[in-house]
Chain A
Amino acid sequence: MITTQRMLTPEMVASIEALAPRYPNRRALTLPALHIVNDELRYVPYEAVVEVAQLLGLAPAEVQDTLSFYAFFPQDKPSGETRAWVCRSISCALRGGEEILDHICNAAGIDPYGTTADGALTVEPAECLGACDFAPCMLAGKTLHKNLTKESAEAFVRDARARTGKSS
């Protein structure tokens, strides 16, 4: 077999293996493994799916089946450096969540699910983020942005783009 550059680094493999004693079989490592890959690469390309499958003793189709179900792991290209989920479920929608989503997308010059050309920011609609006491809200990376306004949404887009050093 011709080996190309491997997607899974030894560190990723070690992180996955460190979780193995928690579960009675290796298939249960599927979701943790996909998260470990996605945390590093910001996507899970098909090559990585094959490598995860080999590592866990599964068919690639089994890993792909699980992965594709969640519609969470990008496969074609990495998410932006910041991946933002803007809530559009009922509590946020009642307080302007949909308008905030439009506003952020306009400010970033992209459609929902799109990524800015500089790779700084991906914006996705989200179903309930469980922060309805702070509606309208957005989760960007690990940061919850609360009680968004047009102004704070614009500032968020500016900051996200500035962090890449390629702000236009």
Chain B
Amino acid sequence: MTIFQPVLLEAVGVAESHTLASYRSRGGYAPLERMLKEKQPTDVVELVKASGLRGRGGAGFPTGLKWTFLPKDHPGPIYLCINADESEPGTFNNRILMEDDPHQVIEGIILSAYATRATTAYLYLRYEYPQSWDRLQGAIDEAYAAGLLGKNIQGSGFSLDLYLHRGAAAYICGEETGLIESLEGKRAWPRIKPPFPAIEGLFRKPTVVNNIETMACVAQIARRGVDWFRSIGVPSDPNNPRDPGSYGPKLYCLSGHVERPGCYEAPLGITARQLIDGQGGGVWKGRKAKAVIPGGISMGLLTEAELDTPLDFAGPGKVGCLGLGTAAVVVIDETVSIVDFLHNSCRFFAHESCGQCTPCREGTAWSLRMLERIRVGKGRLKDLELLAEIGNTMGMMPGSTICGLADGAAWPIKNAIKKFRGEFEDYIKRTNPSGWMVTDPVPALPIVAAH
């Protein structure tokens, strides 16, 4: 396998990579200056559309297409929100981009604002990234001083203000309408869609919400062109006219039980096994993988036998996972009990459910209670049916919730019980020899760990 030369991560390891001088020396901002001089906003939209770039935040929606949903010739303000509320367990690529190469992100933001005709951009940064905050604020100050932000950028007549906005440790703020509500100063309850943010978003104005890595990709597409971007990754399926393909480089976050955890850039479509054995140096301590999270904990689980699944936008779905998600690959070795894994997952979602939709608020809390019960040796086989029922009924897909958090909570439950049912049954029978077969209702244990 040839080693992929990193582009989005080219600055990692470079001295003073976060400064304007360093970014300029690597060719940064020249594409922006050229675009502002030579291209119209619609040209930039067409460029990004032609590249096939799909949003890197988790849903994989085509970025250029999202921009075209904005109303034409809108008289009022249009807002650009940058989603840096990176909270999906296992995910840290936005942090690396913001800390090591903030100007790459800012160039992408300016280009995207120009394309969408936004004159104010808010970068919603999670509280847990103080280093990113300092690096970004430093870079924004440099950009203002260099005439790359503010009024009449580089004499183009285009103006943009970019502001940082600090979150307060809530996972739901990564959902785009939750982020908008939070920015407006309210509790971060996701909105019912439609209207989509492109029509009515922040402060009830047309709004685009894009992820940090997406912004870095926009900057690189402007620099290297559509052909370069489309030469990387997995082309769209010719037998499926609705498949937009998986083009471009992707930042994979590798963590858990691997020898070399880290953020690695690779073409979309690398398999989980290639990533773990290649960049990751293999499963740690010479052990075997029991399961692997393909793209953040919400995406479910790959079994050892499914590790040759390509990690592109279509791959994980073919083996029953929710999708590529954030491409955060977490390796779980053979010594870990799947009961403990699912307990950790259920605790996360019970803690982070925003409480707006009943199926999610109750479903996540009850699934945690049941996992507590199983874990302390009071599980029944019936609990697996109940857990599966929760998994099948909460979420946007069954149509019972407003946002996808519940789908993300449901997927690890569904995947774990389907793919590791034998282990659950063995555990329950072994730890509860006298009661595993009981089907009567039992009192729930008090919830002890979620909050």
Contact = CB atoms under 8 A, between A and B. Distances in A.
Interface of A: 22, 24-25, 27-32, 34-35, 56, 65-66, 69-73, 85, 88-91, 93-95, 126-135, 139, 141-142, 144
A113 to B, nearest CB: 9
B165 A31 contact: yes
Q: Which of A71, A72, A93 has the most CB of B within 10 A?
A: A93
B186 A132 contact: no
B160 interface: no
Interface residues of B, number: 57
A56 B451 CA distance: 30
B92 A72 contact: no
B344 A130 contact: no
B330 A91 contact: yes
What secondary structure prevails in chain B residues at the interface with A? mixed
Given A28-B184, A31-B168, A130-B87, A94 B92 contact: no
B255 A132 contact: yes
B397 interface: no
Nearest to B85: A130
Interface string B289-327: 000010001000000000000000000000000000000
Given A25-B203, A65-B187, A72 B168 contact: yes
A166 to B, nearest CB: 26
B436 interface: no
Contacts of A93: 344
Given A130-B87, A131-B95, A139 B128 contact: yes
Interface in B143-189: 161, 163, 165-171, 182-188
A132 B128 contact: no
A89 B92 contact: no
Contacts of A70: 168-170, 188
Contacts of B5: none
Given A31-B165, A90-B341, A133 B262 contact: yes
B344 A132 contact: no
27 contacts: A25-B184, A27-B186, A28-B203, A30-B186, A31-B183, A32-B165, A34-B168, A65-B186, A65-B187, A69-B354, A71-B170, A90-B256, A90-B344, A94-B330, A94-B332, A94-B336, A95-B256, A126-B169, A127-B351, A130-B91, A130-B95, A131-B95, A132-B91, A132-B261, A133-B261, A134-B261, A135-B256
